[in-house]
Amino acid sequence: MSDDEAFASAEEGEEEAKGSKEKSTVVEEQSKSGQAAPAEKGGAKPKGKQQQRKKKGKAQGKATAEEKGKASQKTSREKSSVKADTSTVQAKEFQPTPAASVESQAPVSQSSELVQPSTKDSIKADSVSDKQDSKHEDVKDISTTEGLPDTKYETPRGQKQEVLTDQDADKSVESKSETQPDKDSEISAKSAGDVRQSLSKNTTGEDARLGNSGEQSIPRDADGASPNSGEEKLAEDGAKDEGSWNWGWGSSILNAATNSLETFSSQVGEGLTTIIDSVESSLGVPSPEDVAKADSPTELDTVPGEEDTVTAQPHEKEASEEALAAKRAAETQKGEEDKEAEQTATPAAQEEEDAAKAEGSWLSGWGMSSISNMGKSLVNKSQNLMNTGFEKAENLAAGGLDILETIGKKTYTTLTEHDPGLRRAREFLHLRDEKPSLSSMLREAQEQADVQAKRDEESEEALKVNFTALFEDNQGLAHLEALEMLSNRSERKVQSLLSAMEEDMLENIRPQLVEIKDTFQQAFEKEEAGEESEHDFSKLVTENLSELHLGTAPDKLNKVQENVRQWIADFYSHEDHSEISDAKEVQQRAIQSLADVTSKAVEQFHKAGELVLMQKDEEKSYTHRAQSLAKLSSVLVTEVDILASKFSQCLNKIGEEKKTTEEVNPMVTSVYLEASNASGYIQDAFQLLLPVLQHAAIQSALALSL
């Protein structure tokens, strides 16, 4: 149905051309006002629309007007694009909210005819009713936009378009001139009507009116003085000349496309609004309409007439979409579905006209002179449309921000308060981050200290029965190490001396070296068969040491041995052994004694080694000294064994008396174990003397040979 109307309007090609003029003015206004919302759609489409607009505007007439229009469009585009880039703040104003999209789409529709018909088709959907449109009419911007002076936006693009449009204009001029050579105002009015159609359904709705009441109404409107009158005039001139070349061939397509686009835009708008509504309602956000109303009450008050027109126009859009539904909608403000349309169309148109008149008067009050009321009214309407669109956009944007904010808050609260899992997770994380309380730390420290103390105590006790530790304490280990160093040094010396020795000398000394070596190797083979019978330790030791002719007395060794023996004797002399000491003490004493004896034995070997190397005493052969040392070591080992046996007997006695055999047995074992350890150290020390003796033997042999 709207299509029909559109067709009708399309037929009025010249008129359309004129209408395009209006468009151009509108666009200019938009650009002036700086609300480039339509262009925001961005991409090629807006351009196309604008271009079309421009074309139309150009076609309408004067290059200047066209230029302005184009330029403004371009600028508006540019602005819009720029703004689009800078998001949020500008987005408020220019976000492609439903309203904005509607508007922009409307112009697009024209361009899209040329450029992107397919999109239109696709876009085409069933648009139901645009409630919003009727709701949001805020005329705020109108005043501002109107008041704004035209700035000149000359961009290269604009020129391009100019060229194109100029051609169009030339062609269109003819047709226009034919049909409407007369009045500029008429032309403008007509063109305005066309514009409406082409621009958007809003306009088409009016076009329908125009088609019906058409030219009649135009003159009425002409009374009003439009702010853009100057431009219009210019445009009008051009418009006359311009034929609707493009309109002619493309009108039907254009209309169809327009319709589709309109439907699309309205649909989109609706869809968006419904979505937003639903979101808002669910979130409890005030509806954009309310917001918009809240924002604009003053303006509404000040410009009631315009309001009316504005309200009417959105309905017209709808009407155009759905045929004449708009008119009704104008009345009800929710003119959704009417298929009766045509009948109601007239009232709507009349309303519009009235509104236009009111506007005109209002505008005239602004001090604008009247050129063509019609044109003005149309302009106003279109402006209103745009403005409403913009405001809607703004409001929606603002509302959108509010919504976003609210959504954010809701989300946060939901997440934080209504998600037990999250809370748990958070608590868990917090717990992990949390440091243990002071009390727990102290407790841990206390426990650690206890454990440490216990361990220390244990280790201390362990050290008391640790033969190696005790051996080291008594410097036995140091002496062993020193002896090892001495031994290694002697061994190196022996090697170097032997290698440097002459053959005969080597032959002379070899038997002695072998003899010494044999003595050392056989020393303990004998001993192992040796009995553990009691022996006179100090006598044997002293004897053997004196055999070494080293001038050293085994004082330390003998003293230590005596002490040990004394202790054991004391132990046996007591009737009640357990009164003197318990098993553990005996064990400690035993191991301590073994360590002492061993340390002193090793020290004795060490000293012997040092002295053997230094003394040039040749009274005793080194073989003999080796034998003495072997005997000494065997005495020492025997003594260690005897001591171990005696201590074990002590332990066993205690075990028997106290009935703690199980407890004592491991102690006895440990004593025997450490005794074998001690024997090992003694034998090692003894073996370390072999190179030392060899070294000494060679030295003395060399000394003799010299």
Partner 1 sequence: MCEPIFEYQFRLILIGDSTVGKSSILRYFTDGKFEDACDPTVGVDFYARLMEVKPGVRVKLQIWDTAGQERFRSITRSYYRNSVGVIIVYDITKRSTFENLKQWYEEARNHIEPHKAIFLVLGHKSDKEDGRQVTAREGRRFAEMHGLKFFETSAKTGQNIEESFSQIAKDTYQHLQDGHIRLEDGWDGVKPGFARPRETVHLAEGEGESGGCC
Looking up tokens 């939901």, which residue turns up? 414
Work out whether 585 is an interface residue with partner 1 (CB under 8 A). Answer: yes
Question: Closest CB to partner 1 among 342 and 481?
Answer: 481
Please report how close the Cβ of residue 457 comes to partner 1 at its closest, in angstroms. 7
Q: Report yes or no: 353 and 377 within 8 Å, Cβ to Cβ.
A: yes
Candidates 570, 669, 703, 705; binder of partner 1 (CB under 8 A) is: 669
CB 356 within 8 A of CB 224: yes
Cβ at position 472, least distance to partner 1 in Å: 7
Give whichever of 444 and 456 is closer to partner 1, judged by the CB atom: 456
CA 420 to the chain's CA centroid: 24
Nearer to partner 1, 124 or 489 (CB): 489
Least separation in angstroms between residue 614's CB and partner 1 is 5
Handedness of CA 69, 71, 75, 77 (dihedral sign): positive
Q: Name the segment binding partner 1 (CB under 8 A); options: 11-19, 369-377, 623-631, 659-667.
A: 659-667
Q: How far is the CB of 477 from partner 1 (least distance, A)?
A: 9
Amino acid at 199: L
Number of H helices and E strands in the chain, helices first, is 33, 0
The single residue among 279, 505, 613, 702 that binds partner 1, judged by CB under 8 A, is 613
Burial class of 451 by CB neighbour count within 10 A (0 to 12, 13 to 18, 19+) = exposed
The position carrying tokens 């608590």 is: 427
Q: CA 544 to CA 598: how far, in whole Å? A: 17
| Residue for token pair 């070296």 | 513
Q: Which of 35, 246, 370, 587 binds partner 1 (CB under 8 A)?
A: 587
Cβ closest to partner 1, residue 89 vs residue 453: 453
Q: Name which of 324 and 586 has its Cβ closer to partner 1.
A: 586
The residue (of 402 and 481) whose beta carbon lies closer to partner 1 is 481
Judged by beta carbon, residue 259 or residue 604, the one nearer partner 1 is 604
Q: Residues near 656 by Cβ (< 8 Å), separated by ≥ 6?
A: none
* Choices 44-52, 380-388, 494-502, 606-614; region in contact with partner 1 by CB under 8 A: 606-614
- 377 or 587, CB closer to partner 1? 587
d(CA 490, CA 519): 18
| Binding piece for partner 1, criterion CB under 8 A, among 200-208, 296-304, 511-519, 587-595 | 587-595
Tell me how far, at minimum, the Cβ of 636 lies from partner 1, in Å.
19
Half-sphere exposure of 670 (CA within 13 A, CB side): 21
Residue from 583, 632, 685, 688 binding partner 1 (CB under 8 A): 583
Contacting partner 1 (CB under 8 A), which of 2, 512, 670, 679? Answer: 670
Q: How many CB atoms lie within 10 A of CB 83?
A: 21
Tokens at 647, concatenated: 């201590």
Other residues' Cβ atoms within 10 Å of the Cβ of residue 606: 26
User: 243 φ, ψ to 5°?
Assistant: -90, 160
Q: Which of 610, 621, 672, 683 binds partner 1 (CB under 8 A)?
A: 610
Q: In this structure, are residues 320 and 2 in contact, taking their beta carbons and an 8 Å threshold?
A: yes
Among 18, 140, 607, 625, binds partner 1 (CB under 8 A): 607
Q: Which listed residue (82, 163, 453, 614) binds partner 1 by CB under 8 A? A: 614
Gap between the Cα atoms of 143 and 299, Å rounded: 9
The single residue among 340, 582, 617, 684 that binds partner 1, judged by CB under 8 A, is 582
Judged by CB under 8 A, the chain residues 426 through 455 that form the site for partner 1 are 455
List helix spans (H) across 530-621. Answer: 537-548, 555-573, 577-580, 583-614
With respect to partner 1, which residue has the nearer C-beta, 56 or 607? 607
Interface pick for partner 1 out of 190, 606, 631, 646 (rule CB under 8 A): 606
Q: Which is nearer to partner 1, 414 or 459 (CB)?
A: 459
How many angstroms separate the CA atoms of 200 and 385, rounded? 9
Distance of closest approach, residue 567 Cβ to partner 1, in angstroms: 9
Binding mask 459-498 for partner 1 (x = CB under 8 A): xxxxxxxx-xxx-xxxx--xx-xx--xx--x---------
- C-alpha 651/C-alpha 637 separation (Å) is 21
Q: Are 35 and 79 in contact, with CB atoms under 8 Å apart?
A: no
Sign of CA pseudo-dihedral 378, 383, 389, 392: negative
Q: Counting Cβ atoms within 10 Å, is residue 575 exposed (0-12), middle (13-18) or buried (19+)?
A: exposed
Interface positions, 347-366, toward partner 1 (CB under 8 A) = none
User: Of residues 96-155, which lie at the interface with partner 1 (CB under 8 A)?
Assistant: none
Q: For the chain, first and last CA: distance in Å?
A: 143
CB of 530 to partner 1, least distance (A): 29
71 neighbors 158 (Cβ within 8 angstroms): yes
Q: Given the complex with partner 1, which of 297 and 680 has the nearer CB atom?
A: 680
Report the residue number, 462 or 704, with the smaller CB distance to partner 1.
462
The number of angstroms, rounded, from the C-alpha of 641 to the middle of its chain's C-alpha atoms is: 75
Both tokens of 697, joined, read 């033997």
CB-nearer residue toward partner 1: 397 or 667? 667
Q: C-alpha 429: how far from its chain's center?
A: 18
> Which is closer to partner 1, CB of 423 or CB of 455?
455
In the stretch 245-284, what mask flags binding to partner 1 with x, by CB under 8 A?
Answer: ----------------------------------------
Q: Minimal distance in Å, beta carbon 479 to partner 1?
A: 7
> SS3 of 243, please?
strand
Interaction mask 530-569, partner 1, x per CB under 8 A: ----------------------x-----------------
Residue placing its CB nearer to partner 1 in the complex, 596 or 641: 596
Query: Can you spell out the DSSP letters for 494-546?
Result: HHHHHHHS-HHHHHHHHHHHHHHHHHHHHHHHHHHH-------HHHHHHHHHH
Of 427 and 456, nearer to partner 1 (C-beta) is 456
Question: Closest separation between CB of residue 671 and partner 1, Å?
Answer: 9
Judge residue 381's burial from the number of C-beta atoms within 10 Å of its C-beta, 0-12 exposed, 13-18 middle, 19 or more buried.
buried
Q: Total residues at the site for partner 1 (CB under 8 A)?
A: 48
Helix (H) or strand (E) holding 427: helix 420-433
The least distance separating partner 1 from the CB of residue 664, rounded to whole angstroms, comes to: 8
661 binds partner 1 (CB under 8 A): no
**Residue 666 interacts with partner 1 (CB under 8 A)?**
yes
CB contact at 8 A, 616 and 544 = no
Find the DSSP H helices in 180-244. Answer: 184-199, 201-212, 214-223, 229-241
CB of 485 to partner 1, least distance (A): 6
Cα–Cα dist 381/306, whole Å? 8
Q: Specify whether the CB–CB gap between 196 and 309 falls below 8 A.
A: no
CB 408 to partner 1: min, Å? 56
Applying CB under 8 A, which residues contact partner 1? 455-466, 468-470, 472-475, 478-479, 481-482, 485-486, 489, 552, 581-585, 587-589, 592, 606-607, 610-611, 613-614, 663-664, 666-667, 669-670
